[in-house]
Amino acid sequence: MITNGLVRNLILLLFACVSLMCAAQTNAPKPRSAAKKTTRTTPEAAVMALHELFDADWEYSMQQNPQYASFLGDRRWNDKWEDVSLANLQKQNEHTQATLKSLAAIDRALLPTSEQLNYDLFKRQNEEALQEFKFKSYLVPIDPVKGGIQTADTLAVNLRFENVKDYQDWIARMNALPVLMDQTIALMQEGLRESIKPPKIIMERIGGQIEKQLVAPEASGFYIPFKSFPKSIPEADQKRLADSARSAIETAVIPSYKKLKTFFTDQYFPKCFDQVGAWQLPNGDAYYAFQVAKHTTTNLTPEQIHTLGLSEVKRIRAEMESIKDKTGFKGTMQEFFTFLRTDPRFFYKTGDELLEASRANAKRIDPLLVKEFKVLPRIPYGVTPIPASTAPDQTTAYYQPPAADGSRPGMYNVNLYKPETRPKWEMMALTMHEAVPGHHLQIALSYELGGDVPKFRKYSGYTAFTEGWGLYSESLGDEMGLYDDPYSKFGQLTYEMWRAVRLVVDTGIHYKHWTRQQAIDFFMANAAKTQLDVTNEVDRYIGWPGQALAYKIGELKIKELRAKAKQEFAERFDVRDFHNIVLGSGTLPLDILERNVNAWIAANCPKACELPPELQGLPKRKPAAAPKKSSQKK
């Protein structure tokens, strides 16, 4: 999984769709191309017009998402928060409509194939943004896992503090927090009025996150940058900046969180849903169907995915039984699960030991990558703990992408909270997913795509591709010789089962009206993960409908395409070439990925044949229906 807290929310804004929820600043200029029709009729002119639109829209997105701009290393708006007022959210939606009109004015037929792909992906993302806006999901701006304003301090650890201006910008942000707080509370109030709100069970975690902001200034996460300064900053300036930071926390930050606590405790939480599931929302079934399509980039229905999940659970369960027998364990699978969850040999005693072992796993994987890949990223990565302030509500680990300008490496963040609940046997598969050859390798290569690839493709993406690649990467441990004992192999199967269970549980909660306890019970019955992990995971699915489906759907498609390529190339098959094709165009919807792989096979295997039924993983994506004309005034 990628990123945490507030930063995860920021990245999702771009990963889901470039323009969604980019609330306009009052002084933000409209893109140069937003309302123009091009009269350029040559291929060169059409390409130029297209990239002018891409560049203008990216600039607009950065201006409207200053936290995300800062995260990427663009410091021009380091003193600002995004504007999430309802009025500006509507303005942003109008901007998306105008952007699509500008895109339609460019003759797609004049563009070369590579630019037609850029055109199609840009169009797809913006159309998706318009669809999502109608469901008003922005009226739930806080979540214990995805984050929100209650974890806004976590942004500080991802920024550079190298000169006086960097510190002054952060102080300005702190002083501006009351405005963002008022806007956030206004969104939540509107959500209550329209019954667009979360379940109580996951909101129970929010109170503790707010409490962590109500501390002395020097203990605040907002104050972390002021605990050390570069030597280049004079001591007098250091003292002045530290004093200003403490004042900002005392007069702006803490009062804002006290206000949020009062509103959340007295008004918001009591009115949240008693049950779980997106079906409770206005147009909940349609909303969930949209989220399923968005996250999986397929036309699979919730019912089809639920059935597929049950089938995958059955298949993986059989493999797990085989591995259990290899360990010599004589009991039932449930007894084996209990053994794996409780035997002290499978756990580190301290967080430091857990962190060191995670780093050792990464070092073991690194030199083996050349066996699987011809191209490796230049951007480095590190292994670091999840901040203690958010660790209790976080999953086992997550990946944090690098800064676009190379000023910050990628980070594999490991949860050291309660090491006695984090088994050793899952750690290799986890490292392969979150670091290499999983998220870091894939995302860093995307960041390093050539200069002619537009930024919206380099720095945004599709969950099914990104998380599907992460899960597929776990399976590479077999051929890389990394699962060298039955317990680590069982750990890999546990992680695969985890993602198969998600297909059943996510659709169970949001489509079949399962209770939270039903979801937990199904999870515990089919995976060896601990109660803490399972509970955190289920709560994540409750608050993030459809996202968890992307992992298994994407992995199955990549494995299907690899099986087809291997059959077509026979003894000429080189997995490094296959990985180049999969990763070489950045993140893609699964149907476009399949088209790319099929074109590569056709170009190199003249007698290409159909994949046998037993090797087919997922139903083919149907062509998207033409958008219906709307009578709504644009």
Asked if pLDDT for residue 38 goes beyond 50, the answer is no
Asked if pLDDT for residue 625 goes beyond 90, the answer is no
Higher pLDDT, 16 or 270: 270
Task: Give the confidence band of 607 by pLDDT, cuts at 50, 70, 90.
Answer: low
The upper half-sphere exposure of residue 83, i.e. CA atoms within 13 Å in the direction of its Cβ, equals 19
Nearest to 105 by CA among 51, 17, 35: 35
Average pLDDT of 478-494?
96
At 581, the amino acid letter reads I
Pull the structure tokens for residue 140: 């739930």
| pLDDT at res. 207 | 95
Asked if pLDDT for residue 632 goes beyond 50, the answer is no
Task: Give the confidence band of 461 by pLDDT, cuts at 50, 70, 90.
Answer: confident
| pLDDT at res. 633 | 33
Tell me the three state secondary structure of residue 145. coil
Asked if pLDDT for residue 152 goes beyond 90, the answer is yes
- Distance of alpha carbon 53 from alpha carbon 36, whole angstroms: 10
The end-to-end CA distance of the chain, in Å, is 37
Pull the structure tokens for residue 357: 């072992």
Average pLDDT of 195-201?
98
For residue 355, which phi and psi values (nearest 5 degrees)? -65, -45
For 9-23, 153-167, 211-225, 300-314, which range has the lowest pLDDT when averaged over its residues? Answer: 9-23
Asked if pLDDT for residue 4 goes beyond 80, the answer is no
- Distance of alpha carbon 586 from alpha carbon 581, whole angstroms: 10
Alpha carbon 52 to its chain's center: 28
| pLDDT at res. 40 | 54
Task: Give the confidence band of 156 by pLDDT, cuts at 50, 70, 90.
Answer: very high
pTM of the shown model: 0.87
- Distance of alpha carbon 395 from alpha carbon 22, whole angstroms: 28
Pull the structure tokens for residue 36: 């123009």
Q: What is the secondary structure of 175-225 as a DSSP string?
A: HHHHHHHHHHHHHHHHHHHTT---BHHHHTTHHHHHHTTSS-GGGSGGGGG
Task: Give the confidence band of 357 by pLDDT, cuts at 50, 70, 90.
Answer: very high
Tell me the three state secondary structure of residue 405. coil
| pLDDT at res. 392 | 86
Asked if pLDDT for residue 20 goes beyond 50, the answer is no
Average pLDDT of 367-377?
97
- Distance of alpha carbon 302 from alpha carbon 29, whole angstroms: 41
Tell me the three state secondary structure of residue 622. coil
Asked if pLDDT for residue 395 goes beyond 90, the answer is no
Asked if pLDDT for residue 30 goes beyond 50, the answer is no
| pLDDT at res. 28 | 38
List Cα–Cα distances, 106 to 103, 114, 166, 180, in angstroms: 6, 15, 41, 37
Pull the structure tokens for residue 371: 């066996």
**Residues 502, 360 contacting (CB under 8 angstroms):** no
- Distance of alpha carbon 334 from alpha carbon 316, whole angstroms: 15
**Residues 126, 98 contacting (CB under 8 angstroms):** no
For 21-35, 138-152, 456-470, which range has the lowest pLDDT when averaged over its residues? Answer: 21-35
| pLDDT at res. 502 | 97
| pLDDT at res. 23 | 31
Pull the structure tokens for residue 16: 């889901």
Residue 624 burial (CB < 10 Å; 0-12/13-18/19+)? exposed
| pLDDT at res. 27 | 37
Average pLDDT of 129-138?
98
Maximum mean pLDDT: which of 28-32, 40-44, 421-425: 421-425
Other beta carbons less than 10 A from residue 441's beta carbon: 27
**Residues 254, 212 contacting (CB under 8 angstroms):** no
Average pLDDT of 12-29?
36
Task: Give the confidence band of 3 by pLDDT, cuts at 50, 70, 90.
Answer: low
| pLDDT at res. 301 | 97
Angle at Cα 67 formed by Cα 57 and Cα 463, nearest 5°? 70
For 84-93, 139-148, 273-282, 598-607, which range has the lowest pLDDT when averaged over its residues? Answer: 598-607
List Cα–Cα distances, 150 to 83, 84, 397, 442, 522, in angstroms: 16, 15, 20, 30, 31
Higher pLDDT, 75 or 406: 75
Asked if pLDDT for residue 294 goes beyond 70, the answer is yes
Residues 6+ positions from 541 with CB-CB distance below 8 Å: 502, 505, 506, 509, 519, 547, 548
Average pLDDT of 42-57?
96
Average pLDDT of 114-123?
96
Average pLDDT of 133-146?
96
Nearest to 1 by CA among 362, 394, 510, 290: 394
Strand partners, 2: 399
Alpha carbon 386 to its chain's center: 16
Cis check: omega of the bond before 43, within 30 degrees of 0: no
Task: Give the confidence band of 54 by pLDDT, cuts at 50, 70, 90.
Answer: very high
Instruction: State what percent of residues in the chain have pLDDT above 90.
Output: 83
pLDDT in tens, 431-441: 999 999 999 99
Task: Quote the strand ranges of 283-434, DSSP E.
Answer: 381-385, 397-400, 410-414
Task: Give the confidence band of 36 by pLDDT, cuts at 50, 70, 90.
Answer: very low
Which ranges constitute the DSSP H helices of 105-158? Answer: 113-135
Work out the widest C-alpha separation in the chain, in whole angstroms.
Answer: 75
pLDDT in tens, 402-425: 988 888 999 999 999 999 999 999
List Cα–Cα distances, 2 to 8, 43, 221, 400, 440, in angstroms: 7, 38, 21, 6, 10
Which ranges constitute the DSSP H helices of 346-447? Answer: 351-365, 427-434, 439-447
Average pLDDT of 366-374?
97
Other beta carbons less than 10 A from residue 93's beta carbon: 21
Task: Give the confidence band of 33 by pLDDT, cuts at 50, 70, 90.
Answer: very low
Asked if pLDDT for residue 67 goes beyond 90, the answer is yes
